[in-house]
Amino acid sequence: MYAIKTCELTKVYRGSEKPALCNASIQCEKGSIFSLLGENGAGKTTTVKILCTVLLPTSGEAFVAGYNTVEEAEKVRQIIGYLPQKSHVSIFFDWSIWDNLKFFSAMNNITGLTFKTLAKTLLKEYNLWEKRNELFRNLSGGMQQRVALIRSIIHDPDILFLDEPTSGLDVQARLQTISMVEALKKQGKTILVTTHQMDVAERLSDTVGIIRSGEILLQTSLKTLKEQYQGKYSLEVFCDVSVTDQIVAFFREFSSVEVLHRYPPRFLIWDGEDIVKEARKKFQTLEFSLRSVSLEDIYLKIYNTVNT
């Protein structure tokens, strides 16, 4: 049994003719991290809200730990933690960290000494104990995100839904959040993460799914996905926009090259070194970067958002 599963999930919002989700089916194994990748508006948040019982699907079904999110919504809520995309909307700005955690813990029947022990342990673990009486509004963005994550896990849920957990954070805060998610996985949690930051997904994921315009384009293990592109290279050309068409036209002459992106030009290449040598001769003033294929490159190829 999958910890998280959707079957032909569809959601059409009132007043819209185009579905936000269209027959979307995903599966997440217990104890793993599943990253749902896609641009803003692709359907990531809608998927998470249905799984967290915040939204009802128009059709299809969703299951969390085997529970139907519509028919057994209360059971689902008891075993999940949910970090919304805009985490601040689920926190009282004019309350202290401590008062926020106390209030939301009580909603999960965690009170008294049990709450105090859990809150103290988590606040110390995430370096927030000394800030426990600070108002939420006075915290940095990274601290606010840590508080929101503690709020999501203080009741020790088996399954976590983290919607864009690193969006808008600076480098240090993002790395701290990633480390927190990695630690939660080590505790045996099942985690579904939505993100459009490919470096985050590449570091965290066991499995990735790519969603575009409400449709699932692909779902597979990160290891399998990267093995499929072994021996291929990513080439990025740093140039002025005025010569982009010339560069794209040059590389299109090679059967072992695919255009991934136009501005700036990026290509997927086999036999990369020989092609780059020819390109350097033709465009002597330009700078080229040749490297192994990353998840971002694979995402661009599959997503095909740019008309190349």
pLDDT digits (tens, 9 = 90+) for 295-305: 999 999 998 65
CA distances, 142 to each of 15, 18, 28, 149 (Å): 36, 36, 28, 11
Distance from C-alpha of 64 to C-alpha of 159, rounded to nearest angstrom: 8
Q: Please, which residues have CB within 8 angstroms of residue 193's CB and are 6 or more apart in sequence?
A: 33, 34, 35, 36, 162, 165, 181, 200, 201, 204, 205
Both tokens of 192, joined, read: 């579904």
pLDDT of residue 173: 85
8 A C-beta contact, residue 123 and residue 100: no
Q: Please, which residues have CB within 8 angstroms of residue 131's CB and are 6 or more apart in sequence?
A: 97, 123, 139, 143
One-letter amino acid for residue 263 of the chain: Y
8 A C-beta contact, residue 267 and residue 235: yes
Q: Which domains does the chain have, with CATH numbers?
A: 4-226 (3.40.50.300), 229-303 (3.30.70.340)
State pTM to two decimals: 0.91
At residue 78 the predicted structure's pLDDT band, cuts being 50, 70 and 90, is very high
The per-residue DSSP string of 32-73 comes to: -EEEEE--TTSSHHHHHHHHTTSS--SEEEEEETTEETTTTH
For the chain, percent of residues with pLDDT exceeding 70: 97
Q: What is the mean pLDDT of the chain?
A: 92
Distance from C-alpha of 211 to C-alpha of 94, rounded to nearest angstrom: 37
Q: What pLDDT digit, counting tens, does each position of 130-167 carry? A: 999 999 999 988 899 899 999 999 999 999 999 999 88
pLDDT of residue 308: 42
Least confident of 43-57, 108-122, 159-173, 193-207: 159-173
pLDDT of residue 306: 40
The rounded Cα 306 to chain-centroid distance in angstroms is 21
N-to-C CA span, the chain: 41
pLDDT higher than threshold 80 for residue 271: no
Strand partners, 118: none
